[in-house]
A and B are shown apart, each in its own frame.
Chain A
């Protein structure tokens, strides 16, 4: 699913450049659950943004689904995100002026799905998230856990094979966080490739691929608790 080689990312700063990623290479097979771990500032978010094409690398190559996407332009990446990638952010990033339904519909709007169909589809996904009776609420009228489930519904509505989640439980209490992780694990069992940035060793232990980062470098690869067999989180 994902293969990167010598991926490097420099941020130009006033007093020189900051090297956030240093020749990172790894592979995440299709259908696996992967964790990216590391201290704060080690480059996890930077890496995830590169994987989702929200930012471009300074150097290195990237294959997504067997295709070399290293030289993708802005428009190609927009299409790619729309079709094959779902994002879940730590800060939820829902649009406050829209209902839960409107937020979930958004990827389908840019896929030019007709209004009636995308409403049905969004409603169906919200139902699977247990939010059937919240679809007309604004994000501010929802709890943190509910907001994150709306965000996951938005990531899933276009049925992308890859889900990228940057500390999806970072803004939630332990119990709600567990619920969200269970949800991601269930999605993984349905065959999706899921990459989670997490600080939790417990979560990482259940992942088939664990990428350890330190100061922008990738530490030697370690396998999950039982050598790559899919497990439920928690």
Chain B
């Protein structure tokens, strides 16, 4: 039997039970589509991470308390006193809240901070102003909206001077930020900024989430990092009670986490491909049993065992590869839909298609082999005598 004939036979075998073939292929379709989509989402996130590295500037350090470490506003003065190289020291208290204007509401990350935050260089105002010293001194209920928040609550209009309700309090909008683009984790575009004392009061806490330290040069930043690391290790007796890391390092860690996450997702997707392969194997075993007599007839008219192997192996391959091709199609659609539905960037990579194809070929080969070999080992007489 020639390859062309084997392929034709395999295709006819699949075509003769279309629904069953489709259901069998579903596992591979889902697996391949998942690989392509999840890898695209993972890549999208990683690229966003890379593009965000510039936003806060590379000379900024994050001083973050470990769990259970007391970390109050006093740390700001402590850090400022002990780190002469620091250009600016800014406290942060991160939280989440529900913003509402009239009937529209929006959940948003809430950042309690001081006017110094603007000096880090990441704030670009679209309208109004950022938090001012007087807002801190007088505990004013002032809020600065991220670009997306403003867009969602006020549309294209200028919200400066409008009132929003947040954490059970009525705030006055004093400024709106320019969009910086989609980023990892909490994006500045989706956040709102309020005075630190107001945030601490409303959340009834004295603690801070982090202190940002801005230096004037990379050298100064790394000096400050060494200094602060020693300082806190000595003070709390453990290197993990307070972490001092540059934004690059934080983002690199985040990026690595994302990569691990992407690999995990891709791994999960590959597992579903393997499950799809088991489905193919199952159906091929059923098919071999159903067509035992056909195998006997083919052997009687001159098929050698290899012909039988080829016929059933190709049928499994045709199924897994057709499933793979359909999966690539579904995957491409999902990659385009993901940013719209999941609001997360997705970057398509051709290598994911290659990976998916290689894998579905392997799946067809590996899981088709056993039923095919089993079929070829059938004794022609037993096969012909098989009832049904």
Interface residues of A (CB under 8 A from B): 49, 52, 54-55, 74-75, 78-79, 81-83, 87, 89, 93-95, 97, 106-107, 109-112, 115, 154, 158
Q: Which of A49, A93, A97, A107 contacts B302 (CB 8 A)?
A: A107
Q: Across the two chains, which residue of chain B brings its CB closest to A76?
A: B304
Q: Which of A54, A106, A107 contacts B384 (CB 8 A)?
A: A54
Known: A55-B381, A112-B1. A78 touches B302 (CB 8 A): yes
Give a binary string over B1-30; 1 marks a CB under 8 Å from any A CB, 0 the rest: 110010000001000100000000000000
CA distance A106 to B302 in the complex (A): 9
Known: A54-B380, A54-B384, A106-B298. A79 touches B304 (CB 8 A): yes
Q: Which of A83, A87, A97 contacts B300 (CB 8 A)?
A: A87
CB pair A97 B12 closer than 8 Å: yes
CB pair A111 B16 closer than 8 Å: no
When distances are taken between beta carbons in the complex, the residues of chain A under 8 Å from B5 are 109, 115
Given contacts A54-B300, A93-B293, A93-B297, 16 further A-B contacts (CB under 8 A): A52-B300, A54-B381, A74-B305, A75-B305, A78-B299, A78-B302, A81-B301, A83-B302, A89-B384, A95-B297, A106-B297, A107-B301, A109-B1, A109-B5, A110-B302, A110-B307
Give a binary string over B280-314; 1 marks a CB under 8 Å from any A CB, 0 the rest: 00000000000001101111111111010000000
Query: Dominant SS at the B interface?
Result: helix
CB pair A82 B381 closer than 8 Å: no
CA distance A74 to B305 in the complex (A): 8
Interface residues of B (CB under 8 A from A): 1-2, 5, 12, 16, 293-294, 296-305, 307, 379-381, 384
When distances are taken between beta carbons in the complex, the residues of chain B under 8 Å from A52 are 300
CA distance A49 to B304 in the complex (A): 17
When distances are taken between beta carbons in the complex, the residues of chain B under 8 Å from A49 are 381
When distances are taken between beta carbons in the complex, the residues of chain A under 8 Å from B299 are 54, 78
Known: A54-B381, A55-B381, A95-B294. A110 touches B301 (CB 8 A): yes
CB pair B302 A82 closer than 8 Å: yes
Q: List 6 A-B contacts (CB under 8 A).
A: A54-B381, A78-B299, A89-B384, A110-B301, A112-B1, A154-B301
A-B contact count (CB 8 A): 61
CB pair B300 A74 closer than 8 Å: no
When distances are taken between beta carbons in the complex, the residues of chain A under 8 Å from B301 are 81-82, 87, 106-107, 110, 154
CB pair A79 B302 closer than 8 Å: yes
CB pair A110 B303 closer than 8 Å: yes
CB pair A81 B297 closer than 8 Å: no
When distances are taken between beta carbons in the complex, the residues of chain A under 8 Å from B304 are 74-75, 78-79, 110
CB distance from A145 to the nearest CB of B (A): 19
| Most chain A Cβ neighbours within 10 Å, of B2, B302, B305, B384 | B302
CB distance from A218 to the nearest CB of B (A): 21
CB pair A112 B294 closer than 8 Å: no
CB pair A112 B302 closer than 8 Å: no
CA distance A115 to B2 in the complex (A): 10
CB pair A81 B300 closer than 8 Å: yes
CB pair A111 B294 closer than 8 Å: no
CA distance A115 to B3 in the complex (A): 12
CB distance from A104 to the nearest CB of B (A): 10
CA distance A55 to B298 in the complex (A): 15
CB distance from B79 to the nearest CB of A (A): 80
CB pair A112 B296 closer than 8 Å: no
When distances are taken between beta carbons in the complex, the residues of chain A under 8 Å from B380 are 54-55
When distances are taken between beta carbons in the complex, the residues of chain B under 8 Å from A109 are 1, 5
Known: A97-B12, A107-B301. A55 touches B379 (CB 8 A): yes
CB distance from A128 to the nearest CB of B (A): 19
When distances are taken between beta carbons in the complex, the residues of chain A under 8 Å from B1 are 109-110, 112
Q: Across the two chains, which residue of chain A brings its CB closest to B294?
A: A95
Q: Across the two chains, which residue of chain B brings its CB closest to A111?
A: B302
When distances are taken between beta carbons in the complex, the residues of chain B under 8 Å from A54 are 299-300, 380-381, 384
CB pair A93 B303 closer than 8 Å: no
CB distance from B294 to the nearest CB of A (A): 5
When distances are taken between beta carbons in the complex, the residues of chain A under 8 Å from B379 are 55
Known: A93-B293, A95-B297. A78 touches B384 (CB 8 A): no
CA distance A97 to B298 in the complex (A): 13
CB distance from B386 to the nearest CB of A (A): 11
When distances are taken between beta carbons in the complex, the residues of chain B under 8 Å from A95 are 294, 297
When distances are taken between beta carbons in the complex, the residues of chain B under 8 Å from A82 are 301-302
CB pair A93 B384 closer than 8 Å: yes
CA distance A80 to B37 in the complex (A): 53
When distances are taken between beta carbons in the complex, the residues of chain B under 8 Å from A78 are 299, 302-305
CB distance from B177 to the nearest CB of A (A): 68
CA distance A106 to B303 in the complex (A): 9
CB distance from A7 to the nearest CB of B (A): 16
CB distance from B16 to the nearest CB of A (A): 5
When distances are taken between beta carbons in the complex, the residues of chain B under 8 Å from A89 are 384
CA distance A95 to B5 in the complex (A): 16
CA distance A79 to B251 in the complex (A): 68
CA distance A110 to B294 in the complex (A): 14
CA distance A81 to B297 in the complex (A): 12
| Most chain A Cβ neighbours within 10 Å, of B293, B300, B304, B307 | B300
CA distance A138 to B280 in the complex (A): 28
CB distance from B13 to the nearest CB of A (A): 8
When distances are taken between beta carbons in the complex, the residues of chain A under 8 Å from B293 are 93
When distances are taken between beta carbons in the complex, the residues of chain A under 8 Å from B302 are 78-79, 81-83, 107, 110-111, 158
